[in-house]
Amino acid sequence: MSESQQIDSNVPISERFAITNEEIRAKYAIDPSRDPSDIPIEQLDPSHPSLFESDTVHPYFARLRREDPVHYVNDSMYGPFWCVTKYRDIVEMEKAYDTFSSEQRHGGITIGGKPYDTDQPDPTFNLPMFIMMDPPKHGEQRSVVQPLFLQRSLQHMEPLIRERVVDILDSIPVGKEFDWVPTVAIDLTARMLATLFDIPQEDRMKLIHWSDTVQNAANPLVYSSMGEAFQELWKCHEYFGEVFERRKRESEPGNDLISLLAQGEATREMPPNELLGNILLLIVGGNDTTRNSISGGVLFLNQYPSEYEKLQDNPSLVPNMVSEIVRFQSPIAHMARTALRDCEFGGKSIRQGDRFAMWYISGNRDSDAIEGADTFRIDRENARNHLAFGFGIHRCVGYRLAEMQLRVLWEEIESRFERVEVVGDPVYVWSSFLHSIKSLPVKVHSK
């Protein structure tokens, strides 16, 4: 970064970004109802958030899987990048982490990320986190929090999860219409996040707010600029920075995520932006996968009523159904990578610095890898063989906890309700990174 590009710390963060989110949205406005078969293949861009907001993106990916599975997008709101749309190609790229980097300095894990100078990164929105690190640092930091998500640790959490699920389900208005997302999906994940961080339950909605801020940072309907969103995220650092320092000094540290970070050799001396980055990673990871799968499961069972009947006839299918829900929802739509060298991938010539989006949401609908992948089937064989949690060294560290919460929730739903009926259209978030449901009107019927 040159001297003229240095950030003036006296300038408010919200003024450090020249272009507003509304200008971005206007520049790249599209018609989401357009049939992708009418678009020349070289112009096909499945990354526009409006396609996810309108739930019209799947035909785009279906065409790319058929005709151009490793597809170059020359002009998008994120800049040029490659789409990786097939299951096996995504797995191959995930394995080749020495060629395709997750490092933030190369652009990180979202297609909107930009490389920066390694010696003088732009401090305005530089938030290192272990998912955006390559080995060996990735493994060093990930291993600090991993013990909390091992099977032996999760067994002790199940009674608490069930207690909170029961409390939520016992309080919903049976027979009356309500919004499933805030009433059940958000409340359950917020309660568990507060437990994982060992903060007061009355502060739990702050975690959801910060997770939503990450999700909506580029959404002009929520924030006027990325700078405004970053101001909100810095409040997260102010909150957890104090907690982090206090737990560093504890002689008998707890087994919560902040204590593990505060006591871990690889993480206890993290600079403020790296602490914030890792906390946001754990918040978003703990919130969005579970929350959107909780909502997605209700939606899919209503879209496929024969599968709901199958579940009612055989509740033992719940664990297998959980994996199918996560696959079909694909809460994380993509992860990005950057080529570290010239190479060939998927029959295409790749240049060093090229950016890639591995579209989990597409790979999970690839019928060459998953039989009848466009169909929701709760008794699917090998249902856990999906990409929704990623693959390889970057696979979601908390996937077992997410599965457990979903399993316990559906066990309790099936024990007390005849059905959860969707009574209106779902509302999706304007994002091509998180495949997120914002609202889902339902009515619960008792047995």
Say which range, 37-46, 92-101, 271-280, 360-369, has the weakest mean pLDDT.
271-280
Q: Is the pLDDT of residue 7 over 70?
A: no
The predicted pLDDT at position 92 comes to 98
Tell me the pLDDT of the chain averaged across its residues.
88
- Is residue 141 very low, low, confident or very high in pLDDT (cuts 50, 70, 90)? confident
Segment 275-311, tens digit of pLDDT: 888 888 888 888 888 999 999 999 999 999 999 999 9
Bridge partners, residue 177, by sequence: 443
Minimum mean pLDDT among 75-79, 152-156, 321-325, 384-388: which range? 152-156
Question: What is the average per-residue pLDDT within 417-443?
Answer: 95
Q: Is 84 helix (H, G, I), strand (E, B) or coil?
A: strand
DSSP strand pairing (417-422 vs 334-339)? unpaired
For residue 420, give the 3-state DSSP assignment: strand
pLDDT at site 8: 37
- For residues 163 and 113, which has the higher predicted lDDT (pLDDT)? 163
Highest mean pLDDT among 192-196, 277-281, 369-373, 434-438: 369-373
Domain span at residue 422? 3-446
Angstrom CA distances, 197 to 240, 260, 290, stand at 10, 10, 16
Q: Is 79 exposed, middle or buried (0-12, 13-18, 19+ CB in 10 A)?
A: middle
Q: Look at the chain and count its residues.
A: 447
Q: What is the pLDDT of residue 156?
A: 86
150 pLDDT band (50/70/90 cuts)?
Answer: confident
pLDDT at residue 322 greater than cutoff 50: yes
Amino acid of residue 166: V
Least confident stretch, 2-6, 43-47, 111-115, 214-218? 2-6
Residue 435's pLDDT is what?
Answer: 94
* Strand 81-84 versus strand 355-359 pairing type: parallel
Q: How many beta carbons lie within 10 A of that of residue 437, not counting itself? A: 23
The pLDDT, as a whole number, for residue 20 is: 59
Q: What is the CATH number of the domain that holds 121?
A: 1.10.630.10
Helix (H, G, I), strand (E, B) or coil at 80: coil
* Residue pLDDT, tens place only, 244-257: 999 999 888 788 88
Predicted local confidence at residue 32, as pLDDT: 86
- Tell me how far apart the alpha carbons of residues 247 and 366 are, in angstroms, rounded to a whole number: 46
The answer, yes or no, to whether residue 372 has pLDDT greater than 80, is: yes
User: Can you tell me whether residue 406 is helix, strand or coil?
Assistant: helix
Q: What is the pLDDT of residue 13?
A: 35
Domain count, the chain: 1
Task: Please compute the mean of the pLDDT values over residues 233-252 and round it to a whole number.
Answer: 89
What are the start-end ranges of the E strands in 74-148?
A: 81-84, 100-101
Q: What local confidence, expressed as pLDDT, does residue 282 receive?
A: 87
Does 26 score more than 60 pLDDT?
Answer: yes
Residue type, 89: D
How many angstroms separate the CA atoms of 354 and 106, rounded? 10
